[in-house]
Amino acid sequence: MNVGIDPRKVIVCRCENVTLADVLNAIESGLDNLEVLKRKLRIGMGQCQGQTCLLLVAGILARKTGKSFDEVLIPRNRPPISPVKVKYFIGDER
Amino acid sequence: MKTDVLIIGGGVTGLFTAVSLLEQGCRNIVIIEKSYIGSGGTFRCATGIRASFTSREHVNVMKRAIDLWPEYARKLGFLYRRDGYLWVLTRERDVEFFKQVVEFHHSLGVPSRMISPEEVREIVPSINTNGILAAVYDPLAGKAQVFNAVLNAVIHLKRNNINVYEGMRALKISDEGSRIVVETNKGRVEADKVIVAAGKDSANLLKGLGVELPIHNLAKHVLITEAFKPVIKPLIIDWSSSSYILQVFHGNIYIGSDIPEKYDEPAVNKYMFLEKAAKVWTRYFPWLGEVYVLRYWTGYYDMTPDHHPIIGPLEENENILVAAGFSGHGFMMAPAVAEALTQYILGGKPTIPEFENLKPDRFKKGKLIKEIAVFG
């Protein structure tokens, strides 16, 4: 993408340690929407739930495939949005 | 568009069937998926694989699937491992019931066994066994990586020039004598053979041909936590609360738990699920309370009246085949179903004779599958 930068050294998803090269290779193998890229690469499935990487990958995908940004599916947010410890769901048993 | 075989539904069943057909030299295949690959039950599922069931049909079909899973794992490059299943039992009557189940398993060659709470701790060292009377352990059971299994299948198919169309929805199937015609939102597809592997949508599609498939969606709830190094090897089921837990290959802990749901009601998030899942599993794993939940999602089991899938050609037209209504067991069964569908398509009979009992006409003929005892 950017001339002079090694895509293997550009981190796109910090939670799951996914590089720009991983993203470009997956798109080239025929996985050309964000829902399947998410599951192939685990972008958006780490601790931050995609707050950084999903928009970045959507941008890369739109440029690579010539699709409009609207056509690139943005995966659904799932609760609890920010991670919550299991113990907080137990409820009050006193 | 014209093709030899059209597969409606881009879940694990449809894709593995395409892989299997390709292996047998059938290269002219088209797969259409209304949303994205795996978007139905496949990508929501727990990924457990076992043959420890209570009907001859389920046991023998799953045993075949377990023979085939390592081949798929090797060919497509994903992880599959026999880490076992563990049913923990906390009521006397459940122990008595499971003694019969284990006996049934042994009669069909499934190596499950009753174990003591001490043996449970040997298999899962971090579990609190208070309240556990006994457990059933099935060492033949296991799990596989669902994302890589399915997406590597797609990459494999695309490399072999098989088209997988996402966002393409089948609207109507008609029999035009020599060919089957499927209308979609993106034009018409003509095929010699059509496989309908589209969950409950399969019933809607076949209604137009006068075929009634009794499939109902039942909402299910699951959560997943942050990832850790391996701590829980088998998939564990708490029988009395209909809840299960497993650690997926990536390290996240996946929890499912039943809460009251009615057929064909939309799956929506309910706080009750989170509360139940947390209560049941922090009792067995007190440390789990400190673990972060990352996501909670819902999905459907596509249920049939006898909780067994509908697989095989229609009696009315053998060029239209069904693979739907898996009732929560579609992923684990997929390699065997792919093989059986391939054998039907190529004009043969399935290797596992019990497949013949799963044909779509069994409801009309009143030949429902019988289990030794009804689970749940």
> Which of A49, A73, A83 comes nearest B36 by C-beta?
A73
Interval B329-346: pLDDT, tens: 999 999 999 999 999 999
Residues sharing a CB contact under 8 Å with residue B155, sequence separation 6 or more, in sequence order = A29, A30, A31
Contact of A48 with A15, CB cutoff 8 Å: yes
Last residue of a domain, one of B267, B299, B331: B299
Contact of B273 with B219, CB cutoff 8 Å: no
Contact of B352 with B344, CB cutoff 8 Å: no
B104 located within any domain: yes
Cβ contact B291–A33 (<8 Å): no
Same-domain pairing of B173 and B284: no
> Which of A31, A36, A89 comes nearest B275 by C-beta?
A89
- Our count of domains for chain A comes to 1
Same-domain pairing of B162 and B200: yes
Last residue of a domain, one of B258, B283, B299: B299
Domain span including residue B18: 2-47+146-215+305-365
The dihedrals phi and psi of B159, each to the nearest 5 degrees, come to: -60, -30
Domain span including residue A59: 7-88
User: Which pLDDT does position A94 carry in this prediction?
Assistant: 45
B66 located within any domain: no
What CATH number corresponds to the domain at position A78?
1.10.10.1100
Count chain A–chain B contacts defined by CB atoms under 8 A.
81
Last residue of a domain, one of B255, B279, B299: B299
Q: How much is the pTM?
A: 0.96
Interval B83-123: pLDDT, tens: 999 999 999 999 999 999 999 999 999 999 999 999 999 99
Residues sharing a CB contact under 8 Å with residue B77, sequence separation 6 or more, in sequence order = B148, B152
Cβ contact A78–B275 (<8 Å): no
- Whether residue A94 lies within 8 A of chain B, CB to CB, comes out as no
DSSP for residue B292: E
Cβ contact B282–A86 (<8 Å): yes
The dihedrals phi and psi of B364, each to the nearest 5 degrees, come to: -60, -40
What CATH number corresponds to the domain at position B229?
3.30.9.10
pLDDT-derived band of residue B373, with 50, 70 and 90 as boundaries? low
A94 located within any domain: no
Cβ contact B155–A89 (<8 Å): no
Q: Residues of B with CB below 8 A from A13's CB?
A: none
Which helix H or strand E contains B99, and what residues bound it?
A: helix B92-107
Quick one: three-class SS letters along A8-60?
A: HHCEEECCCCEEHHHHHHHHHCCCCCHHHHHHHHCCCCCCCCCCCHHHHHHHH
